[in-house]
Structure 1
Amino acid sequence: MDASGFGLAVGTYEEARAMIGAVSGPHSAQIDVSAALIKLFCAAVQDPNPRYWDDDVEGGIVAPPAMLMTWLMPLEWTPTGQRSENLLAAQVPLPGEILINVSNEAEFYTDARPGDKLYVTERLVEVSPKKTTSVGSGHFITTCSNYYNQRDELIGEITNVMFRFGAPEA
């Protein structure tokens, strides 16, 4: 593993551009959607929406849309040592050892419910030419992640932009 913790692939801008359109996944969540985790999240953010608390409201408890990415976060440790695959953005071969999140935009289509088993597919949408920002020079990487339940229903879509760059020279 490299210093980023992501195991970043190293290569050229041309190699990265050749990956545009690449798809990774499906990657299955290591945990199922659960009412307990929904309630813990809502308690932490003090969200009183009855759809997140009451089994008798609108067909039962649903997960807040803000939790969508949570269900697919890899566990930091398992007894078997099993690790999740790296983000697609980490697999794009570029120079630079630092990867930071710049933005994300989400669209939600249906609710995730307790008991759902989610999975995600990612697609590489764009790799920018080299840009210079206040943190350094590098490339913006845009990916689109589609989140599905076990019935193959699209729960939501998240477009994410990350910036891959090298540490500025002292």
Structure 2
Amino acid sequence: MLLCLEMEGYPMRILDYLSESSVLFLDSTNKQEILSVMANKAAELDATVNVKNFTKAILERETIMSTGIGLQVAIPHAKLQTIQDFFVVAAILQNDAEWDALDKKPVRLVFMIGGPADKQADYLKILSKITLVIKNPARRKELRQAKDANAVLAAFAEL
């Protein structure tokens, strides 16, 4: 289980939720396939994630509005009552994936966030930390060119 360290007097860090085992490098260009693989990874890493329910929630969220936020980044997310702690699964895509992004550009970086339904403030903190990294052009390039999970984690090391 992951701890929300901020409640204990420590600042929240993305690396509290993102680990070497939650970083994927994917060849797929199919949005649904990418989301499915990432949801399966989340369920593999967190026993409180029901892959069927979580995948359904993620896909339903995408029908409301695309999570492609621009800058070749998507941040799909879902919060469910059954999930106990937040997690982040990152996917570095080897090829462009159409995502119906706000800027109409394909996606290359995907950060899936999952967590408890009743912790909106924690979700927003995680989202803001990811946003800080991806707004930086050098870090975005570093992430797109990452060859292993350690390179991805290094981009978040200071946050």
TM-score calculated relative to the size of structure 2: 0.29
TM-score calculated relative to the size of structure 1: 0.28
